[in-house]
Structure 1
Amino acid sequence: MICREQDEAIVMVKQHEHGRLAGELAKWFREEQVPESLRRDEVLWSIANHDRGWIDLDETPFWNDAENVPYSFIDFPVVPKLTFYRRGLNEIEAVSSYGALLCSLHFERLIEVSGEECPELDQYQKDEAERRARIHRELEQRSVPIGEDELYYDARLLQFCDDLSLYLALNRPGSPKAEEHPWWQDGFSGSEDFKFTSGRVITAEWQDESTLLLEPFPFTHEVEAVFMLRRVSRSEIAAKGIARAYRETPEEECRIMVSGRPEEASADEQGNAEHGAGGQ
Structure 2
Amino acid sequence: MTKQHEHGLLAGEFAKWFKEEHTPAEGRRAEVLWAVSNHDRGWIDLDETPFWNDAEGLPYSFLDFPVVPKLTFYRRGIDEIEAQTPYGALLCSSHFERLIEVSGEECPELTQYLQDEADRRARIHRGLEQSKPLEEGELYYDARLLQFCDDLSLFLALSKPGSIESEKHPWFVDGFSGSEEFSFTSGRAIEAEWQDTTTLTLTPFPFTKEIEVSFKQRRVSRKAIEDKGIAEAYRNAPEEECRITVISGAEEDSQVKTGASQPSERQQR
Check whether TM > 0.5: yes
Q: Which amino acid aligns with 2:15?
A: A
**Structure 2 residue identity aligned to 1:196:** F
> How far apart in 1 are the matches of 2:119 and 2:135?
19
Q: Does 1:192 align with 2:180?
A: yes
Counterpart in the other structure of 2:158: 170
Quote the Cα distance in structure 2 between the aligned partners of 1:91 and 1:215. Answer: 35
State the distance in 2 between where 1:227 and 1:114 align: 26
Measure how far apart 1:264 and its partner are. Answer: 2.6
List gaps (5 residues or longer) in structure 2: 262-269
Match 1:63 to one of 47, 52, 58: 52
1:3 maps to what in 2?
none
Out of 217, 224, 228, the position equivalent to 2:216 is 228
Q: Which residue of 1 aligns with 2:88?
A: 99
Taking only the aligned residue pairs, the percentage that are identical comes to 72
Deviation at 1:235, TM superposition (A): 0.7
Q: Cα RMSD over matched residues?
A: 1.5
User: 1:234 and 1:150, CA in 2 relative to 1: closer, same or farther beyond 3 A?
Assistant: same
C-alpha displacement at 1:225, in angstroms?
A: 1.7
Extract unaligned runs of 5+ from structure 1.
Answer: 1-11, 274-280
1:249 lines up with 2:237 in the alignment: yes
Is residue 126 of structure 2 the alignment partner of residue 137 of structure 1? yes
Q: Give the alignment's TM-score, normalised by structure 1.
A: 0.90
**CA, structure 1 residues 108+172, in 2 after alignment: closer, same or farther (shift >3 Å)?**
same
**Runs ≥4 in structure 1, deviation > 4 angstroms?**
270-273
Amino acid at match of 1:158: L
Residue of structure 2 in register with 1:83 after alignment: 72
Q: Which residue of 1 aligns with 2:32?
A: 43
Residue 204 of structure 2 contacts residue 250 of structure 2 at CA under 8 Å; is this kept in 1? Answer: no
Q: What's 1:156 paired with?
A: 144
The offset of 1:263, in angstroms, is 2.0
Q: TM-score, normalised by structure 2?
A: 0.94
Q: 2 CA distance for matches of 1:250 and 1:107?
A: 31
Aligned equivalent of 1:16: 5
Matching residue's letter, 2:155: Y
User: Is 1:146 the counterpart of 2:134 in the alignment?
Assistant: yes
